[in-house]
């Protein structure tokens, strides 16, 4: 399905298709077909009726626009959907139409259809997250010795490695992926409670139908229906919010590093990507921009979902009705951010020479902390700090190396040899535990701790929520 123009900066093709009218209606049809099959097997409805309902679900041609329009009159798309679907069944097997949706309620249909869509969304997310994590691991390994400026308050600070920076992005993405997997697994549960959440219409058969229906749909069967308990979905959207924020942080770093004045990295270039309508020279960081846009939108949508959790008694008036577009927006924007940053990471151009030049442009003042620590052992921290502060000001004002100013300062030179001063401004001599931290961050992806190896669900028959 083509992405609608107004949503073109908020979704991907696969996610736009996932939440298209046809896809949503198919998820609803899948619920009704599964319910009929289960109830037919268990002898709750006639087997012939169950077969007819399942057959109609495979061939039904429903008008999404008409159902959407009529939903405003009913307060739920379930009612016009069921009217249209029963007509499809009646056209093929009139006697079967009365057994459609047997024992279920509108929210059972809509919530389970949403869960089925989320089940597909998880697979899309996992594919792009694997791409992103692999790309960040490669970047980190490739640049484990590539020194660059650390930056605090957007100002030059002692050096780090680009390998550590990429590993820190990886760490946040991997932790976010773990949270997301756990949240998906928790919320991929059947909704089936009937009118008031007791399955009273199905009498003694309600519980076994629920378990069989969960198995049929490859979902977990919860302890009880969750019509107005939205905590599982809330945990999922919150996990999306955290992950979107981590992706936004990565995107922010890249956009700053890609500025012409910095020029330490560049997003992958291709024909038509990142251009300007008026400035032929532009190469805009479009992937990072899309992730940043998502990081700005998703938190507000998460807040809206959390506000809608305050739902009344056994069926909400307003809160539940607010959720569909909110969840769709969160999933699509988060998925877009993941896909965009995967593409960015896979093609990111890193410029180590520019990183060296930017370190050199500081005239060595970023190593003042190092010098202060060396001197502090000789004369005490306070005096060393004062001397280095004065030397740094002179170095900046005169555009000279800090080591030269230090060599000309008797109170410093008497304590530090010429060799020590020459080594002072070598970035590789002041990286601390950068490599140990980098390796520790990447170790989170070992097979035994991998999110993706733990994401396979147990059979629904063995799980109770």
Which amino acids are annotated catalytic?
Answer: 276, 315
Beta partners for 221? 464
d(CA 158, CA 169): 19
d(CA 34, CA 369): 67
d(CA 297, CA 305): 13
CA atoms in the 13 A half-sphere facing the CB of 114: 26
Q: Is 73 exposed, middle or buried (0-12, 13-18, 19+ CB in 10 A)?
A: exposed
Q: What is the DSSP letter of 147?
A: E
Q: Is 295 exposed, middle or buried (0-12, 13-18, 19+ CB in 10 A)?
A: buried
Token output for 30: 């899948």
- Are 58 and 26 in contact by the 8 Å Cβ rule? The answer is no
Sorted by sequence, the CB contacts under 8 Å of residue 193 that are 6+ apart come out as 105, 107, 108, 199, 224, 225, 227
């Amino acid at each position: 399905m083509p992405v609608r123009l107004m949503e073109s900066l908020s979704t991907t093709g696969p996610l736009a298709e996932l939440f298209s009218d046809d896809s949503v209606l198919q998820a609803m049809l899948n619920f009704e077909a599964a319910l009929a099959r289960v109830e037919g097997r268990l002898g709750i409805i006639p087997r012939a009726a169950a077969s007819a309902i399942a057959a109609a679900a495979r061939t039904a041609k429903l008008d999404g626009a008409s159902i959407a329009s009529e939903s405003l009159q009913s307060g739920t798309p379930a009612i016009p959907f069921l009217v249209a679907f029963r007509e499809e069944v009646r056209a093929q097997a009139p006697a079967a139409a009365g057994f459609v949706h047997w024992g279920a309620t509108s929210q059972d249909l809509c919530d389970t259809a949403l869960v089925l869509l989320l089940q597909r969304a998880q697979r899309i997310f996992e594919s792009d997250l694997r791409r992103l994590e692999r790309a960040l691991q490669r970047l980190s390994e490739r640049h484990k010795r590539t020194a660059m400026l650390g930056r605090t308050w957007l100002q030059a600070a002692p050096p780090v490695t680009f390998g550590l920076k990429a590993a820190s992005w990886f760490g946040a993405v991997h932790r976010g992926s773990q949270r997301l997997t756990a949240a998906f697994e928790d919320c991929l549960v059947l909704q089936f409670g009937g009118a008031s959440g007791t399955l009273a219409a199905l009498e003694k058969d309600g519980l076994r139908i629920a378990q069989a229906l969960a198995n049929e749909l490859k979902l977990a069967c919860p302890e009880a229906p969750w019509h107005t308990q939205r905590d599982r979905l809330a945990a999922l959207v919150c996990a999306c919010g955290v992950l979107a924020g981590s992706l936004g942080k990565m995107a922010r770093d890249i956009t700053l590093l890609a500025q012409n004045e910095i020029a330490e990295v560049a997003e992958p270039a291709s024909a038509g990507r990142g251009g300007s309508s008026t400035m032929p020279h532009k190469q805009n960081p479009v992937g990072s921009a899309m992730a940043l846009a998502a990081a700005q939108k998703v938190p507000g949508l998460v807040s809206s979902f959390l506000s809608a959790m305050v739902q009344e008694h056994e069926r909400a008036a307003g809160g539940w009705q607010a959720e569909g577009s909110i969840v769709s927006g969160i999933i699509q924007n988060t998925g877009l951010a993941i896909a965009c940053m995967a593409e960015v990471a896979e093609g990111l151009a890193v410029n180590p020479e520019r990183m060296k030049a930017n370190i050199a442009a500081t005239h060595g003042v970023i190593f003042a902390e190092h010098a202060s620590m060396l001197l502090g052992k000789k004369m005490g921290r306070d005096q060393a700090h004062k001397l280095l502060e004065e030397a740094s000001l002179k170095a900046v004002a005169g555009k000279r190396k800090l080591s030269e100013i230090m060599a000309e300062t008797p109170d410093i030179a008497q304590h530090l040899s010429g060799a020590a001063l020459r080594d002072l401004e070598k970035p590789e001599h002041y990286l601390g535990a950068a490599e140990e931290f980098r390796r520790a961050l990447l170790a989170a992806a070992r097979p035994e701790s991998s999110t993706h190896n733990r994401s396979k669900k147990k059979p629904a028959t063995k799980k109770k929520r």
